[in-house]
Amino acid sequence: MLIGLDIGGTKIEGVIVAPNTAQVVHRLRVDTPKTNYMAFLVAVKEVIATLLEKEAVQSIGVGCCGSINRATGKMQGANILYLNGQDFLGDLRASYAIPVALTNDANCLAISEFKSGAAKEATNSCLAVIVGTGCGGGVVIHGDIVDGQHGLGGEIGHNPLPGFDSRIDGPAVKCYCGSTNCNESFVSGTGFERTWAIKHAPLSAKEIFAAYAGGDAEAIQHVEYYADCLARVLGTIVNIIDPEVIVLGGGVSNQDVIYPLVTQKLAEHTFSNSITTPIRKALHGDSSGVLGAAYLPVMKGLVEC
């Protein structure tokens, strides 16, 4: 059995997964402490302790916001701010005799979908992209998640939008990360609403997609524009790693209309005009974080099952 933890700003979710069936056999959730790192560490260990009482477990995998700086071993870029600068993985490894591994939540989406989800027929590679409140990604190559030298593997949300043209894409937009015209400002759900509001009265993404379904010409134009942005983003990644499958997660990924549009436009933004890469909706939904985390030590070869 494998433990998977999904740690976010509001909740810590822990599960026990049966490795061969991908079935979650135990699950619990607690609130993420708001106070400090020590309270956080206590809460995480209590979740693990509760799970360890239920089954014999081979490993612990953690999916968490932020990443580990390989040079220092410490957390960076986490939106649970007290985590940054802490040796979270080291503190966990010091507490347990079984292997512990940690990666970020977008990587967990890639792992879970590669192992048992929408990319499970892939034998070597997949790209997973979250188009939700923000935009992040994860890359599997040779059956292993690419964390990268600085923990940045798959972080496509903060590359500049390929082919940015203010006549098409609107005025340049500054990102909280310090860069300009980040992909996230265009292809996240927030970006979908932001680019709509450049020319129209503000609407939620759901309202715009509802207008699209109702045949509204402006909404149709905007959804096609969005699909083109996403195809531009994905096309640059295809030209580098050419994955077997692309999986989309997050709020916008639930809009089925985008798949044929992005698939059609992908060929326009890649080096080959005969691109056949399937683009699919993530299968595991909200469980991708815990499942990907649970599989992480297996993918890293820390345990066999």
Q: Which residues form the interface with Zn ion (CB under 5 A)?
A: 158, 175, 177, 179, 182
Number of residues in the chain: 305
Q: Which is nearer to Zn ion, 152 or 303 (CB)?
A: 152
Six-digit token string for 107:
């990587």
Residue nearest to Zn ion (CB): 175
Please tell me the distance from the alpha carbon of residue 246 to that of residue 295, in angstroms, as a whole number.
Answer: 19
Considering the complex, state which of residue 158 and residue 284 has its C-beta at the smaller distance from Zn ion.
158
Q: Judged by CB, which is closer to Zn ion: 161, or 298?
A: 161
Closest distance to Zn ion from the beta carbon of 134 (Å) = 9
Q: Which is nearer to Zn ion, 156 or 231 (CB)?
A: 156
φ and ψ at 145, to 5 degrees?
Answer: -75, 140
Which sign does the torsion angle of CA 26, 29, 30, 32 carry? positive
Instruction: Compute the C-alpha angle 30/32/33, nearest 5°.
Output: 115
Q: Cβ of residue 152: shortest distance to Zn ion, in angstroms?
A: 12
Instruction: Work out how close the CB of 136 gets to Zn ion at its nearest, in angstroms, rounded to a whole number.
Output: 11
Q: What is the DSSP string of 127-163?
A: EEEEESSSEEEEEEETTEE---TTS-TT-GGGSBPTT
DSSP code, position 33: P
Q: How far is the CB of 18 from Zn ion (least distance, A)?
A: 39
* Angle (nearest 5°) at CA 61 between 60 and 64: 135
Nearer CB in complex with Zn ion: 182/279: 182
CB of 16 to Zn ion, least distance (A): 36
d(CA 18, CA 144): 20
**C-beta of 177: minimal distance to Zn ion in Å?**
3
Q: Which is nearer to Zn ion, 182 or 290 (CB)?
A: 182
Phi then psi dihedrals of residue 281, to 5 deg: -80, 135
Query: Least Å distance between CB 160 and Zn ion?
Result: 9
Which amino acid, 221? Q
Question: Angle at Cα 100 formed by Cα 98 and Cα 105, nearest 5°?
Answer: 150
| Closer by beta carbon to Zn ion, 178 or else 215 | 178
